[in-house]
Amino acid sequence: IEYQWGCLCLFFVMSAFFSYNSLLVFQLVTYAPFTLFPTPVPKAVFLQALAVQTHYNTLVDKISQDPDFLEEALASTIAVDDFTGRLFRIHQQILKEGRSQSIVLGLNRSDYMLDQRNNGLSSLKQIEINTFAASFGGLSSRTPDVHRQILKMAGRLEESQRILDNDPAAGLARAVAKAWELYGSERAVVMFLVEESQRNIFDQRYIEYELWKRNIPTKRKRFDDVCEKGSLDQDKRLFVDGQEVAVVYFRNGYMPQNYPSEKTWEARLMMERSLAVKCPDISTHLAGTKKVQQVLAKPGVLEKFFPDKPQVVEQIRATFAGLYTLDIGPEGDKTVAMALAAPDQFVLKPQREGGGNNIYGSEICQVLQGVKESTERTAYILMDKIHPAPVQNCLLRRDAPLQISNCLSELGVFGVYVRQGKDTVMNDCVGHLLRTKSSEHSDGGVAAGVAVLDNPLLV
């Protein structure tokens, strides 16, 4: 593949991704990294991932409403992981005071890889479900046009016509709009809670634009803004800088470093106590932890949430990879021994989001040897390593040479739900995301500088 292909594709992606020139002033901007060509994905497993998403939405929502389950599932983790522990204490305080808002908004993304063993068949295995700041719904809405154009220019017209339409940004915004509508105040804003320096701003902007189309006002605020200018009135309505907030859309707050001071923790508590709809609320945040994912894989747990729906249980469980506890006791001891005996067959996962946190290979041995006799090991879970089949592609990113690489892909599916009291108002699958990285990297997403945006070419 000649170098000019890369230059041509950069032109297409810049024109497709950045349509709003006024936003580029005073910004340091680069194009979103992407694959030169779309990646083949088996149609059957792709459709399986879409079909199960609404069940995952329901599962997350049910977990968030079950405080006894959350307390039991997270008991060992919150004892040793300070970050999860602090989140859980906010959850407990909200339960004690009583929830101020009956409207619940969920914007989730369930991530999978295709496990391909010796029989050559691919099976869909979940890596994790993201209940907090599930990203790239905006940029992935534009990648189909990029790859369609590239394939046309390459003379592959038939393949260009097989690139699927995909618009997660519109679906995510539709759910936010419904929550804003149910809140019932046209003057109240949707507040995007964002980082001080935001590398992924354009991804978020697409959702804002969709809200603007619906004449829904939005504001971008930081934790510092909420600390300095946030308050609750006597009805627990949230005001930031004098404006009432109908929906708090958290795009920041999922990592310990997002809370550099006690004031930021106080701001999180104030938002959770408020009448504003939170996305996610604290219970849904906890429902997305790795420990909850591991507990759900235990026999009989899914049946607790879907007692009369064995087909739903079967659909969800079919996507589970092997997940193992590291709690103190015989079962956890067995997990430690299993991981130390064959570390290349597993992934060690801490209770962290954002990519680049997982532990692989010989590093698993180093970590577990240090904590195997300590309760500190309960801050992790162990998961079977998924073995996808590599494909060849070119990864286009700034300041990187254009070359053919062996690549691995990860499929994400976006789901949204809105509940008011006991009534589910919306529960939809709204799009997909494909990310691809070189097979030499074990972990890391687009934001971590490892993976790039891609499109599935169904086969």
Q: Which domain holds residue 73?
A: 3-15+31-321+386-458
Bond prior to 168 in cis (omega within 30° of 0) = no
What is the C-alpha to C-alpha distance for residues 198 and 335, in angstroms, rounded to an integer?
39
The pLDDT value recorded for residue 404 is: 93
What is the C-alpha to C-alpha distance for residues 60 and 318, in angstroms, rounded to an integer?
17
Task: Point out the catalytic residue in the list 57, 130, 140, 141.
Answer: 130
Active site residue 178: no
Active site residue 130: yes
Residue numbering of the annotated binding site:
109, 128, 130, 204, 290, 349-358, 360, 383-386, 410, 435, 437, 443
Which residues of the chain have a pLDDT value below 50? 1-26
The strand pairing partners of 40, in sequence order, are 457
The pLDDT value recorded for residue 9 is: 46
Residue type, 310: P
Q: Does residue 404 belong to any structural domain of this protein? A: yes
0.85 exceeded by pTM: yes
Q: Does residue 406 belong to any structural domain of this protein? A: yes
Active site residue 135: yes
Residue numbering of the annotated binding site for substrate:
109, 204, 435
Strands 456-458 and 39-41: parallel
Active site residue 373: no
Task: Point out the catalytic residue in the list 64, 109, 291, 377.
Answer: 109
**Structure-block tokens of residue 320:** 């589970």
SS3 113: strand
The pLDDT value recorded for residue 2 is: 43
Q: Does residue 414 belong to any structural domain of this protein? A: yes
Q: Does residue 332 belong to any structural domain of this protein? A: no
Residue type, 182: L
Active site residue 244: no
What is the C-alpha to C-alpha distance for residues 39 and 330, in angstroms, rounded to an integer?
43
Residue numbering of the annotated binding site for Mg(2+):
128, 130, 353
Q: Does residue 164 belong to any structural domain of this protein? A: yes
Q: Does residue 369 belong to any structural domain of this protein? A: no
CB 382 within 8 A of CB 350: no
- Tens-digit pLDDT profile for residues 217-242: 999 999 999 999 999 999 999 999 99
| Residues in Cβ contact with 220 at an 8 Å cutoff, skipping those fewer than 6 apart | 191, 192, 194
Task: Point out the catalytic residue in the list 251, 290, 291, 372.
Answer: 290
What is the C-alpha to C-alpha distance for residues 351 and 83, in angstroms, rounded to an integer?
9
What is the C-alpha to C-alpha distance for residues 57 and 265, in angstroms, rounded to an integer?
27
The strand pairing partners of 144, in sequence order, are none
Active site residue 349: yes
- Tens-digit pLDDT profile for residues 65-100: 999 999 999 999 999 999 999 999 999 999 999 999
What CATH code is carried by the domain that includes residue 289?
3.40.50.1760
DSSP 320-379: PPPEE---SSHHHHHHHHHHHH-GGGEEEEES--SSS--EETHHHHHHHHHHTTSGGGGG
Strands 230-232 and 39-41: unpaired
Residue numbering of the annotated binding site for ATP:
128, 290, 349-358, 360, 383-386, 410, 437, 443
Q: Does residue 402 belong to any structural domain of this protein? A: yes
Task: Point out the catalytic residue in the list 354, 361, 444, 449.
Answer: 354
The pLDDT value recorded for residue 282 is: 98
Start-to-end CA distance of the chain, whole Å, equals: 23
Task: Point out the catalytic residue in the list 123, 135, 160, 393.
Answer: 135
Residue type, 107: L
The strand pairing partners of 383, in sequence order, are 323, 347
CB 107 within 8 A of CB 279: yes
Active site residue 72: no
Task: Point out the catalytic residue in the list 159, 332, 435, 445.
Answer: 435
Total domains in the fold of the chain: 1
Q: Does residue 446 belong to any structural domain of this protein? A: yes
Backbone angles phi, psi at 74, to 5 degrees: -100, 5
**Structure-block tokens of residue 351:** 């209770």
Active site residue 290: yes
Task: Point out the catalytic residue in the list 108, 110, 128, 160.
Answer: 128
CB 385 within 8 A of CB 345: yes
Task: Point out the catalytic residue in the list 268, 349, 372, 419.
Answer: 349
245 sits in which H/E element: strand 243-250
